[in-house]
Amino acid sequence: MWALCVALFASTIVLLFLSPPITTSDTPEVPDPLIVLFRVMALTFPTVGAFVAWRRPKNPIGWILCGAGLLSGVRTFAEVYADFGLAGRPGLLPGVEYMAWIASWMGAPVVLLATVLLLLVFPGGKLIDRAWWAVVGMAVCGAALVAPSMALDPYPSLTYHPIPNPFALESNVYENVIGPLGSLGFVLLIVSLLCAGVSILIRVDKGSRVERQQIK
């Protein structure tokens, strides 16, 4: 998983430097070194995850970090791929609209779900007790509702360049069914995130001395 993340990172950087700077009327041009720095910082997730999984393979924290890093790497590569295919060399790359579609919905659900799971099991890799599985289920259901609502949006913001959603639903179906379910999912993710934060406070109050030091 770490090797895949590095390969995605290298490919992303190549496409990033081959693409023209992205500017819109609402957003100023971002310096290339700053963008590269953000991409390098994203590698900290799978790198730390790989180290933890290597030393403590039974601790889910390493695998959560690796999984989140890999999915984030896919989303970032898809975004840069779409930008290059639309503005850098139009018509050169196949499947640009599908890569833009992947980039449009994979970010928020993955980041929020991974954050909830990390907070719930940090630092020992286990939940406080069985009752906290309800929070895990809430977060998973929330992410499962948010992702389709973003992926099927008839009016998405896929990239900095306007492009139609290849999997968009009809407006009536989206507004009456998928959209409200996505809003419910977002609420579930926020509530589960707050609960996960409370779990850390509980560990600080009732955890062992070693756990409190790890949380610090």
Q: What is the mean pLDDT of residues 81-86?
A: 85
Above 90 in pLDDT, residue 164? no
Higher-pLDDT residue of 156, 144? 144
Above 70 in pLDDT, residue 24? no
Q: What pTM did the predictor assign?
A: 0.83
What pLDDT, on the 0 to 100 scale, is given for residue 26?
A: 52
Nearest-angstrom CA–CA distance, 36 and 40 = 6
